[in-house]
Structure 1
């Protein structure tokens, strides 16, 4: 099995910055505040915070939580935690206090850093030592305070007592039951990802990456650390409020790379003609994943921004974001409705198996198992859930694999095609239906911007499908009606897959998750009211 031993791969994630601690090149630009810092400045600020954290007992095996808006200070916290051998845990500052307390209790931080405006979220929470980040220093400080602009001469980090299997970060996701899962990722896994992505995609030193994903979303790992790997510049976009923020930033800062969820790409294409008026010629690669994205949408984007390479990534959080990649620069000539998810990164092992975890022949449908160095350490404080997620298939020589719960099939050229999730399946009149297949057919309709298919109760069949649709109006046209949509779906789906109910969403009706996707849990509630 391969490891992250390529020539560009460090053993620890923080070494990416350690080797650039005297560089005058710009490391981070905060597009909200306008602040921009060099690698050297970032290193000096990190040293100040490293000394502060060390004084509060942070060291190898510790946890440093952060309840902060995205900023240069956030990146400083990540680097400082890693330099001390601790793991960083970014939390969503928009969560209610009870949820924040629950997550902190699961990861047991030694120190929690918090912006002043979010300080109330930590009242009564098991946050360890609380350090307030920035703001005006009160005359009588209530607890510890850190000035994120303070700098100290940099000393070399002590790597001698550390190991690649030490924890690097924890990202929280929701399970199928709605209960949170704290996914623990090691330095080995993080370095394997970065090395693999660099080998497959190839980056340049002048890379200017627009980070749209929140820092508590695992896509940010690729955004930030792949850029730091080659000494490029990360541009931090504040919490996304409108897609035109993206096109404006790309033009102003001559962005070369950005990663967007398909929902946002569809919004750019379908509802913001402003995107077409922006000069986006600096873009080299558009990264996307996490949802189905019709090739027709990518063609429309390509018409606005020709000459791009499209990087389709697939991978659960448990496998350090991206386990597979598919690259193409010929969207116009691509004939299928959806791109495949591609092949494994160099350090990733994949199996396509049946219900007994036995490999299936190429061309047959099976569940995808993912192994190799990129696999998570486990779920934070939850060994039982970890044991259920990691399995040892027959004939795998004792190697553990993560059960993705995703159904795929392998094409003749080796690329994998995603079909749907194990837990999005239901039976209607004895027929097995994958909701993702219904969504894929809906997204292939020209005027559909986004959609979500959810299970609902039906008085006759017991189970049925409710389809929520967000559509766009072409110039001078009204929004197509349900009859037209049903006619389109009937051309693509068998009768038993057709939705029993279709609800059209207006812009004001749409709830998005922090990562920019439709809020499925909210739509499930609406479907069963």
Structure 2
């Protein structure tokens, strides 16, 4: 079965490459090596790997795990898995071996493709047939090409077949393998295209690792319109981004707000570079003060800001909010916007009953973008995906996020269910404390964590990193910060302790966010 869904988006993701298999337009650029491949070359390399994987037993409903650095080879591997009706599973190659083994046990790969430097991670792991990337006997030469065979659809496949699995950490630290179908991925692409409008020839700078779901936007939206994806190596400093934008005339990039704040704090470098090719800045995953975006706009005018919201379980972005005139936007934070065309949202109380507009409730997300489930965990899936309107009323993902709907229909994020705690009988959302802190000029980033004090009981410890937009781009002193927070928060939400961090103190997660788990560990000794 093949065809095209409403809006011209294919029913199966791999048909996007098949449709461009003769194009000499640039498809992927690896910025660490400078290697560039066209769609035609990528299709021929994909066909060669497809033959190898098929000979190893990969077919419909199989799993191909990728323990690989971000590269043209890893993108080729994604396409090859999809062409055979299999699902691909990118695995963070920086994880310890025990964690890699746990992820592989969850997804049960038929074949695992691995770069030579990561081969030791698979010793004793349930990896299926292991194929090393290389040009030796029994290895996969990522430069090998074969003539594509048109119409190679796996027999009997269905749009609800899995396209990929992305692992996220649960609140208990137990990894969750989120299974996303072709139907879900193509629904997201169709909705994003209708809402944002991707142009042919767009050049998207991919900053996120392939095992982080933000890469779904970078790669798939670009491939949909025949643009070029520029793969940035693992992010270590913001100057990598500004250099790449100037050198490759990048039109789009998606950054987490932590990275945007770092860029703003280091615009002395950006001032020496031409960033005028940028058309859109995508962001999401954390609160981002409008003041930070205004500071970005002063250096790079004329951008459209695309604020995306959506858990991994809803195929990255379930809602979008677009702003062209950020300088004229008066509120401190952007809303998360409205649902994509195929997405349905409900705001409900604890009994999953809809609440009136303007009231606070948990956000439920329905429609074809909702995940198939958690890999190998039906009980966990049943707790996360519910039918609040009764049988036949549709499957909805419980986001765990509290929102309210404004009069104009836009949704405003208020906090997470699992970041709530009671202090002296008062309900506190740590995300609300962080949002108030980020709105203070001079704050680059922050993290609020609960801490037990021997004398005062439960309280809040606030970690603060400087470098935000403000006088001197340095952090405020503790008295100034406490005064600013007292103007924004009630007494019971004020931090008992404030710790200031430097760049040297900070660990970032692979997605570029502050490592909250590490900071929480500091409060417990």
TM range (shorter): over 0.9
Aligned position for 2:484: 488
Aligned position for 1:77: 77
Aligned position for 2:505: 509
Between stretches 392-401 and 76-85, larger displacement belongs to 392-401
CA-to-aligned-CA distance 1:367-419 (integer Å, 9 cap, x gap): 00001000000000000100100111135743121000000000111000000
Aligned position for 1:430: 425
Q: Is the 8 A contact 2:443 2:476 kept in 1?
A: no
Match of 1:464 among 459, 469, 479: 459
Between the aligned partners of 2:129 and 2:467, the Cα distance in structure 1 is 49
Q: Is the 8 A contact 1:289 1:314 kept in 2?
A: yes
Aligned position for 1:124: 124
Query: What pairs with 1:142-153 in structure 2 (closer than 5 Å)?
Result: 144-153=138-147
Between the aligned partners of 1:472 and 1:71, the Cα distance in structure 2 is 32
Distance 1:296 1:388, change over 3 A: same
Between the aligned partners of 1:396 and 1:458, the Cα distance in structure 2 is 47
Q: Is the 8 A contact 1:89 1:170 kept in 2?
A: yes
CA-to-aligned-CA distance 1:155-206 (integer Å, 9 cap, x gap): 0243252110000000000001000000000000000000100000001101
CA-to-aligned-CA distance 1:479-525 (integer Å, 9 cap, x gap): 53211111111111110000001100111110100000000111111
Match of 1:500 among 466, 482, 496: 496
Between the aligned partners of 1:78 and 1:257, the Cα distance in structure 2 is 22
Aligned position for 1:39: 39
- Helix, strand or coil: the match of 2:6? coil
Q: Is the 8 A contact 1:110 1:127 kept in 2?
A: yes
- Helix, strand or coil: the match of 2:171? coil
Q: Is the 8 A contact 2:441 2:471 kept in 1?
A: no
Between the aligned partners of 1:486 and 1:84, the Cα distance in structure 2 is 58
Q: Is the 8 A contact 1:352 1:409 kept in 2?
A: yes
CA-to-aligned-CA distance 1:97-152 (integer Å, 9 cap, x gap): 11001100110000000000111111111100000012x62xxx5xx300000111
State the superposition RMSD in angstroms.
Answer: 1.3
Match of 1:219 among 214, 219, 231: 214
Between stretches 453-462 and 505-514, larger displacement belongs to 453-462
Match of 1:522 among 510, 515, 518: 518
Between the aligned partners of 1:148 and 1:126, the Cα distance in structure 2 is 24
Distance 1:123 1:157, change over 3 A: farther
- Helix, strand or coil: the match of 2:139? strand
Query: Aligned-pair distance for 1:467?
Result: 0.4
Q: Is the 8 A contact 1:428 1:461 kept in 2?
A: no
Query: Aligned-pair distance for 1:277?
Result: 2.2
Between the aligned partners of 2:472 and 2:7, the Cα distance in structure 1 is 56
Aligned position for 2:329: 334
Query: Aligned-pair distance for 1:305?
Result: 0.2
> How many equivalent residue pairs?
520
Aligned position for 1:86: 86
Off by >6 Å, runs of 4+ in structure 1: 473-478
Query: What pairs with 1:293-332 in structure 2 (closer than 5 Å)?
Result: 293-332=288-327
CA-to-aligned-CA distance 1:433-459 (integer Å, 9 cap, x gap): 000000000000110000000111122
Give unmatched runs, 5+ long, in structure 2.
Answer: none
Q: Is the 8 A contact 2:443 2:474 kept in 1?
A: no
Q: Is the 8 A contact 1:409 1:416 kept in 2?
A: yes
- Helix, strand or coil: the match of 1:332? helix
Query: Aligned-pair distance for 1:320?
Result: 0.4
Q: Is the 8 A contact 1:313 1:323 kept in 2?
A: yes
Give unmatched runs, 5+ long, in structure 1.
Answer: none
Distance 1:157 1:90, change over 3 A: farther
Between the aligned partners of 1:171 and 1:10, the Cα distance in structure 2 is 22
Query: Aligned-pair distance for 1:462?
Result: 2.4
1:351 is the counterpart of 2:349: no
CA-to-aligned-CA distance 1:315-354 (integer Å, 9 cap, x gap): 0000000000000101011010000000000110100000
Query: Aligned-pair distance for 1:280?
Result: 0.7
Aligned position for 1:448: 443
Q: Is the 8 A contact 1:299 1:331 kept in 2?
A: yes
Distance 1:300 1:395, change over 3 A: same
Query: Aligned-pair distance for 1:476?
Result: 6.6
Between stretches 395-404 and 114-123, larger displacement belongs to 395-404
Distance 1:475 1:456, change over 3 A: closer
Distance 1:157 1:520, change over 3 A: farther
Match of 1:247 among 239, 242, 247: 242
Between the aligned partners of 1:413 and 1:7, the Cα distance in structure 2 is 26
1:207 is the counterpart of 2:236: no
Distance 1:477 1:149, change over 3 A: closer
Between the aligned partners of 2:217 and 2:167, the Cα distance in structure 1 is 17
Between the aligned partners of 1:376 and 1:192, the Cα distance in structure 2 is 12
CA-to-aligned-CA distance 1:209-231 (integer Å, 9 cap, x gap): 00000000001011001001000
Between the aligned partners of 1:29 and 1:477, the Cα distance in structure 2 is 34
Between the aligned partners of 1:224 and 1:31, the Cα distance in structure 2 is 15
- Helix, strand or coil: the match of 1:195? helix
Distance 1:154 1:94, change over 3 A: same
- Helix, strand or coil: the match of 1:21? coil
Match of 2:374 among 379, 388, 400: 379
Between stretches 486-495 and 271-280, larger displacement belongs to 271-280
Aligned position for 1:156: 150
